[in-house]
Structure 1
Amino acid sequence: MSQHTITVAGVAVDARHWIGGERVASTRTFPDVSPIDGSTIGEISRGTATEAAAAVAAAKAAFPAWAATSRAERARILHAIAGGVEKRIEELAIVETTDNGALLRSHRRGVMPRVAHNFRFFADWLLQLDHEDFDTRGHTNHVSWDPAGPCVLITPWNAPLMLATWKVAPALAAGNTVVLKPAEWSPLTASLLADIAAEAGLPAGVLNVVQGYGSEIGDALTSHPDVRRISFTGSVPTAKRIAESAAAHLTPLSLELGGKSPLLVFADGDLDLAVDLAVEQYDNAGQVCLAGTRLLVEEPVAEEFTRRFVERASALKQGDPRDEATDIGPNIHPRQLEKIDGFVQRALAAGARAVIGGHRKEDQYYAPTLLTDVAPDAEIVQEEVFGPVLTLQTFTDEEEAVRLANGTRFGLAATVVTGDPERAERVTARLVAGTVWVNCFFVRDLQAPFGGSRLSGVGREGGTWSFDFYCDVKNTVTAPKGWKDHG
């Protein structure tokens, strides 16, 4: 076994980069630490501008052949990658749980099957991607999607492989080559993806994986003149730096950023459903960009809602994410825990009341928290915490509900609970959000557009929207006359 191999629960993971179809080591490394117990999983190759340049060069060299590969062959290879994921679901699940602390049962049953589905969906969508020709004064318009070139994909730590493949799959399907930079707090499954893709027959250089700190490798990737698309999921400050870096070459960007989403509960709604949906916002220890962290409840039912919520939330089991009975695992990193607690302690000092939680637990666990008595302009209401922390505010009518819901700089998602379809239509029409759920939460279809408004992002991906981003969309106009006789 190589000195660069890390073993996680019996699964071998190569800690080196994957560039041009080969494993490449850096002269320096960084530690990958498990949030479950704080132990060091292993040392990961720490990329710099040198590895970034090599990865982009490999992607550029591989691009012409991959772009010229037929849709059918690209789709076949993507399906083969999906099959490789499905064969290794258990391995991928335990590695990712060890790496980022999310529930093992969720990885087994939902997240890793979704990874495979990402590849299968975009492979199938590619084969049906079409726009009907249309006529302009006797001239024929034909729309096509041309591969754009090498893509840099920068992905977060809260759902590492699922969110990476949400970008990788359509980029590859479109005929592009990829440089994937996973988050340094959870890099392991991206390395396994490189192995799976190679085994599936993906040509060398079409997918490259480089690891390291964004401050050391990120600018070299996002400012490179040969990069034709950048897709990033993460924080607003980082997105601003990426946008500045990409501006030199006007590289198109897709940005899915923070959220401070509202969950509106109207008095005419199903209160049990509302409580279920509210408690669900603690999923993944609150480390979900779409989470409805601002509970907005109509005054007549606020007291009863709170009572039922506390009863339900207090029954959640927090602990080792590898235990099937666990509902909430650890937060990913001591720095993230410090950030979460800082938000909560400042809110409490400003007069907020912790109905439940409001404090750290042992190791990297934060108690599920619900804060009330918070002002609309309070920091805890306005800024993304990214932990198991919810706030509760009340409203008296639709007008106030919408005003509170739209009262932040973000606009990623919103959830509405109401028993009145006309009210649902009125309210959702006024909400600023990329996705709105009515009497449900987290129902996602890959053919739907996904993205945020305001500071929650730029652009939309999903279905044809993904191909619109990852391709140069071309319109060819042909005159009805002018053809020479080739008979």
Structure 2
Amino acid sequence: MTNPSDIPTHTHHVQEINQKENATFDVLSATNGQVIAKVGVSSTEHAEFALSQCDALFKNRDRWLSLEARVGILERMVGIMETRREELAKTIALEGGKPLSDANVEADRAIQGVRKSIEALSSEAGYVVPMGMYANSAKRMAFTQKEPIGVVLAISAFNHPLNLIVHQVGAAIAAGCPCIVKPAANTPLSCIAFYNIAIEAGLPNAWLHVVTAANHDVASLLVKDKRIGFLTFIGSAKVGWMIKNQVHDGVRCALEHGGVAPVIVTNNANLTEASASITKGGYYHAGQVCVSTQRVFVDNQVAEAFIEQLTTHVKALKTGDASDPDTDVGPLIRPSEVDRVEEWVNEAINAGAIVSAGGKRINDHFFEPTLLINPPAQVKVSTHEVFGPVVCIYTYNTINEAIALANSLDVAFQAAVFSNDINECLHCYRHLAASAVMVNDHSAFREDNMPFQGLRSSGLSTGGIKHTIEEMQIDKLMVIKSDSLL
């Protein structure tokens, strides 16, 4: 078991102004509930200080960071992160409960994400606007250049406590935007580590502020402030849409919610590959992923064989301490989530769902990897994002029936289809209501530069390193009139 003293010391460094009369809140291990760190509670005074500093920086264009300066900072950040990779991974596992094997992957992705920010800047360019085609634009030339949109407010989530910060804050640094970030109260240590790395790499202190709080009061004040130019939020749809309704007029928003992700397995699928892939897609990080595979629609002709294979995989998963390299499924982020998942699973069972694996809580921190067969359409595991280690199997007779079921909810994010028939794959790609369709891969696949976009109630705007940087910038136009032009 990892002890609080094992946390890398650099994650304890918090801005002094971040504390309200020395008030702190406890950061708890997701694995056992033990206190692993104490972090200062941000005050309204700190929020105002952060806003005023960021606003003053943005308004004084002579103080903007040049492209060369931003690239240099990001390059140095990569170097520092590489030397601290193991420490960063341990912090991810300790505070968030992500199994160490997956935490190592997240640390690598975070480093790659900063590299991708540099790559995005290397190809960043405006464009020429054609002039002179008609008399009203004669003797003119026009072009655009990229400029930062304004102060970024980033409200992040617990499930990828480092990589999501890279997507939100790293992108802001690359775009040239001063940034205020509020990490999830359950997982602030990875964000604080990232802050310290950025400052060590040469980012001026005033350009980045970490707001840590165990409640939403300070975040609410920040959200409503007119000095914010861009809001990036990752979390529940309920909170995200509420926040969007509170922001000041003209603030550009990027919201990333959940998807209750559907996967279709046809009778032409390789069941061995499909069952192994869906096991990873459904139980990675105990299902606490916005595109986690949750609803699997299986052709009746192969359902029995597929369920048998998937059940074998699920029962073989090792649940336990996130710091154990052999752990497959870690804890849920807090005991209240175990209570909720237990309630939803019991509702489904009482309504007629068959339990093929799991189905019970282990203790206050863990829930068994669970596989439910044909839960009724109206129960919560069929209609809401579980955000827990639960996958549901539904059988179907025709591919169009499966697509209709997959599209039946007011969510749309990533989906997947398993089939060796290219026509079936293309048919699903065309007709599934999703921003991305994986073919012969699970719904939770993500490469950090690809567009990542929730539709309907699942979100707003497009994520992915390159796309987020673009969202945080404007195309500023210059039109030159000269008699020397045609």
TM bracket, shorter-chain basis? over 0.9
Report whether the alignment pairs 1:11 with 2:8: yes
The one-letter code matched in structure 2 to 1:410 is V
Report whether the alignment pairs 1:203 with 2:204: yes
In structure 2, how many angstroms separate the alpha carbons of the residues matched to 1:354 and 1:30? Answer: 39
Shift of 1:92: 1.1
1:413·1:436 contact (CA, 8 Å) conserved in 2? Answer: yes
1:85 aligns with 81
1:30 aligns with 25
State the superposition RMSD in angstroms: 1.9
Aligned runs of 1:208-247 on 2, under 5 Å? 208-246=209-247
Q: After alignment, is 49-58 or 312-321 more displaced?
A: 49-58
1:57 aligns with 52
After TM superposition, where is structure 1 displaced by more than 6 Å over at least 4 residues in a row?
A: none
1:344 aligns with 345
Cα deviation code 1:160-212 (max 9, x no counterpart) = 11111111111111110110100001111111111111110111211111101
Report whether the alignment pairs 1:469 with 2:466: no
Shift of 1:353: 1.9
1:3 aligns with none
Report whether the alignment pairs 1:115 with 2:116: no
- Summarize the Cα distance change of 1:10–1:237 in structure 2 as closer, same or farther, 3 Å threshold: closer
Corresponding residue pairs, total: 473
1:66·1:206 contact (CA, 8 Å) conserved in 2? Answer: no
Secondary structure at the residue paired with 1:121?
helix
Report whether the alignment pairs 1:128 with 2:130: no
1:297 aligns with 298
In structure 2, how many angstroms separate the alpha carbons of the residues matched to 1:332 and 1:166? Answer: 21
Q: TM-score, normalised on structure 2?
A: 0.93
Shift of 1:7: 5.2
2:228·2:251 contact (CA, 8 Å) conserved in 1? Answer: yes
In structure 2, how many angstroms separate the alpha carbons of the residues matched to 1:172 and 1:66? Answer: 17
Q: After alignment, is 298-307 or 333-342 more displaced?
A: 333-342
In structure 2, how many angstroms separate the alpha carbons of the residues matched to 1:184 and 1:301? Answer: 44
Aligned runs of 1:422-437 on 2, under 5 Å? 422-437=423-438
Shift of 1:62: 3.2
Cα deviation code 1:4-42 (max 9, x no counterpart) = xx9541521555753xxx653222222211111111113
In structure 2, how many angstroms separate the alpha carbons of the residues matched to 1:24 and 1:312? Answer: 46
2:96·2:187 contact (CA, 8 Å) conserved in 1? Answer: yes
2:17·2:46 contact (CA, 8 Å) conserved in 1? Answer: no
In structure 2, how many angstroms separate the alpha carbons of the residues matched to 1:10 and 1:66? Answer: 40
Shift of 1:362: 2.6
* Structure 1 unmatched runs, 5+: 1-5
- Summarize the Cα distance change of 1:242–1:101 in structure 2 as closer, same or farther, 3 Å threshold: same
1:98 aligns with 94
In structure 2, how many angstroms separate the alpha carbons of the residues matched to 1:395 and 1:74? Answer: 53
Q: TM-score, normalised on structure 1?
A: 0.93
1:449·1:460 contact (CA, 8 Å) conserved in 2? Answer: yes
1:131·1:143 contact (CA, 8 Å) conserved in 2? Answer: yes
Aligned runs of 1:225-374 on 2, under 5 Å? 225-246=226-247, 248-280=248-280, 281-374=282-375
Secondary structure at the residue paired with 2:216?
helix
In structure 2, how many angstroms separate the alpha carbons of the residues matched to 1:285 and 1:427? Answer: 27
Aligned runs of 1:137-216 on 2, under 5 Å? 137=133, 139-216=140-217
Secondary structure at the residue paired with 1:111?
helix
In structure 2, how many angstroms separate the alpha carbons of the residues matched to 1:450 and 1:351? Answer: 35
In structure 2, how many angstroms separate the alpha carbons of the residues matched to 1:135 and 1:32? Answer: 56
- Summarize the Cα distance change of 1:466–1:162 in structure 2 as closer, same or farther, 3 Å threshold: same
The one-letter code matched in structure 1 to 2:128 is D
1:145·1:473 contact (CA, 8 Å) conserved in 2? Answer: yes
Cα deviation code 1:246-272 (max 9, x no counterpart) = 0x3331100000120001101101111
In structure 1, how many angstroms separate the alpha carbons of the residues matched to 2:4 and 2:194? Answer: 16
Query: Identity of counterpart residues, as a percentage?
Result: 28
The one-letter code matched in structure 2 to 1:61 is A
2:357·2:370 contact (CA, 8 Å) conserved in 1? Answer: yes
The one-letter code matched in structure 1 to 2:87 is E
1:145·1:474 contact (CA, 8 Å) conserved in 2? Answer: yes
The one-letter code matched in structure 2 to 1:261 is A
- Summarize the Cα distance change of 1:237–1:66 in structure 2 as closer, same or farther, 3 Å threshold: farther
